Structures are given as C-alpha cells and as structure tokens.
Amino acid sequence: MTAPLMPKATAVWLVENTSLTFEQIADFCELHPLEIQAIADGEVANQMQGLDPVANGQTTAEEIMRCQADPQARLKLSPQALPPQVFKHKGPRYTPIAKRQDKPDAIAFLLKSHPELSDAQISKLIGTTKPTIAAVRDRTHWNSPNIKPRHPVELGLCTFAELEEAVNRTRAKRSAEDAVLSSQERQPLET
C-alpha cells in the first residue's frame, strides 16, 4: 500500500479529528505507532498543520467512520489518490560519459551478430548516430584498431528485452516479405 500525500501531516489531522486507533493511523500513514503516539502527546509535529485526507481526496468520510466503528479495520487509500503512471518517453536516451566509449564496441557486435538489423534500429537501441554506425561498418572510425565487439546488454546500453524485440520485429518483417515474394513467383505472368 502506498502512503498518503504528506503522511505526517495527515497523521496529525487524523489524531486531532478522529477516534481511530494509533495502529490504524500508523498503518494508513505508513508510520510507526510510537510516532503516532508522540504526535498525540504533542512531542512530535506540535507546530505542524494537519492535512485533511477527505478534503484532498485520499480517503472518504465513510471509510473513516467504518474504521472508527471497528478498531480491527484498516483505513484504505482511495484509488483516485494514487498518482498516474509515468510512461517513458520515446526521446533520445542519456548515456553516461563513462559508457559512451563502449558504443562502437556494441555497434560492432550488432553488425556482426545481427546483420538483419537496420541502421535505424541499431541507432535506437544503442543511442548513437547513423554516421557512427557507418564508420564502424567501414572501419573508418577514429578508434577502429581498438574496437572489440561486445554485447550491448553487458555494456548496459540497452536491455535484453529491447534487443530481442528489435530482432524479432525484423525477422517477422523479413518472413512476411519472403512470403509475399514467394507468392508472386508462383503466379504465372499474364500476357
């Protein structure tokens, strides 16, 4: 369970305005029961303004009343109180400076092990440019004598799932193209 927004301020409000047990408040706010007892005694957070969890949509008044009636019940966070999922954007990825020198090694590995991958797919997987890929392929890269093919997953430049997805997508596309070509070869030419 995730804690409510500003758990200590929420605990202050619940101590002051409800008859919930210290364990119920501690469980809801993900704090220790002794910390809740210290709040109630005025030893901790005595100058803190309480935060109403009903007003900010983290729970409902009915939920608080239900838990006040049953000391064994646990207060639950409202589903709408949970933050929305953050999706990873599809922009260029940042590579730490220490790993940038490993990119040509990863490019060499992909060119050698997966020649079916396009330059665009390699560029997206590793986070490099097409001229760098061409330079490694043609052995005109400035560091060509020192390039050793190394797996990009081991170098931390992409994940295994991303690599497998790119390879499988390319293979599926090739097999579909081969099926179309073979069906065209079987059809007689019309004159």
Per-residue pLDDT tens over the stretch 128-151: 999 999 999 999 999 999 999 999
Q: Are residues 75 and 104 in the same domain?
A: no
Which residues lie below 8 Å from residue 152, measured CB to CB, with a gap of 6+?
A: 106, 109, 110, 125, 126, 158, 163
Of 22, 51, 81, the position where a domain reaches its end is: 81
Domains contained in the chain, number: 2
Q: Give me the domain span that covers residue 47.
A: 7-81
Q: Is the dihedral of CA 9, 15, 18, 21 positive or negative?
A: positive
**Of 25, 47, 81, which residue constitutes the final position of a domain?**
81
Q: What is the DSSP letter of 58?
A: S
Q: Are 24 and 75 found together in one domain?
A: yes
Q: Are 106 and 31 in contact (CB under 8 A)?
A: no
Q: Are residues 134 and 67 in the same domain?
A: no
Each residue of 103-116: pLDDT tens digit? 999 999 999 999 99
Q: How far apart are CA 17 and CA 125, in angstroms?
A: 54
Does residue 88 fall inside a structural domain?
A: no
| pTM, full prediction | 0.51
CA distance to 27, 78, 81, 144, 158, per residue, from 1 (Å): 9, 11, 12, 53, 31
Q: Are residues 59 and 126 in the same domain?
A: no
Do 58 and 111 sit in the same domain of this protein?
Answer: no
Q: What is the pLDDT of residue 2?
A: 74
Tokens of 131: 């001229």
* Residue 35 to residue 50: CA distance in whole angstroms: 15
